[in-house]
Amino acid sequence: MKSILFNAYADKGHARRLDLALDLARVFDGHLTLLNAVPYEAAGTIDPYGAAFAAMVPIWRDEAKKLREKTEADLANEGVPWEFVETAGPVSLSLLRFSALADLVVIGEREPRGGGKAPSFTAGEVALGTDCPVLVLPDECERIDFDKPAIVAWDGSPEASHALRSAVPLLAKMSNVYLVMVGEGKKEKKEFDLPPLRGADYLSRHGISCELVQLAPDDKGVAHAIQSAADTRGAGLIVMGAYGRMRLAERLFGGVTREMLTDVKIPLLLKH
């Protein structure tokens, strides 16, 4: 994870997220790109959103300027290579564009510029559209505790397999890894399902041992079962596939993905 893309947005969790991203850059001897997306160019000659939108543009540009100045001051002595990039357009599209050469995207749990509500549409959209993993951080999270275990949600699907593979650099540093399977009653087995041992075998080839955990079906759903397993084991990271699809104007998150993004309690690594 040498190239880390960070969504720079001046909400209450920004400073903590930035500290965590800097820690990851140090751990992996990587480079940090801070991306601040202003909705649209202030110099645009056409304003399809009316006077209210036009009035907000200079405010957004002023916020971006202040954020850049503060960031440059804060990072002056951090000893991590970094760059601050300003771009115009929706946050999700900007992150997707710059993620083409990123190994990891770091973003907060709440929707940027959308009143701070969860689940973050942006986090879900980026997770579905990018080729690299997306690390979604809770507001109060200050670091990834590598002395804690990691929970990997496993169902043998391509999404779960891609998530497992992309998480290897982080899993290798966690104290323990649990490969967690949640029973879903009499659900028919999919043709693409891989048995749990295949996931464990893959990790072992990277020198990572894991413990297989089979959970009974949970009346409150798969997301609740995964979160409960993480809470019981004191996990510091959850890894799971991002389920859903993105097609032109139609963007849908799978039910489990939406539920996990609604209540992010510990760092959540998503990969489609």
User: Per-residue pLDDT tens for 138-195?
Assistant: 988 989 999 999 999 998 888 999 999 999 999 999 999 999 998 765 444 444 456 6
What DSSP element (H or E) covers 153? strand 150-153
pLDDT at 219: 86
Rounded to whole angstroms, the Cα distance separating 210 from 151 reads 10
SS3 content of the chain, % helix, strand, coil (to 5): 35, 20, 40
CB 121 within 8 A of CB 105: no
| Contacts of residue 127, Cβ cutoff 8 Å, sequence gap at least 6 | 134, 136, 242, 257, 270, 271, 272
Percent of the chain with pLDDT over 70: 83
| Contacts of residue 88, Cβ cutoff 8 Å, sequence gap at least 6 | 37, 38, 39, 40, 41
pLDDT-derived band at 238 (thresholds 50, 70, 90) equals: very high
Tell me the pairing of strands 237-241 and 268-271. Answer: parallel
Rounded to whole angstroms, the Cα distance separating 44 from 141 reads 38
Higher pLDDT, 224 or 57: 224
- What separation in angstroms does the CA of 217 have from each of 46, 184, 185, 197, 224? 54, 5, 6, 20, 10
Using alpha carbons only, give the angle 205, 171, 238 rounded to the nearest 5 degrees: 130
- Residue 60, helix vs strand vs coil: helix
pLDDT-derived band at 71 (thresholds 50, 70, 90) equals: confident
Higher pLDDT, 243 or 229: 229
Whether 137 shows a pLDDT value over 90: the answer reads: yes
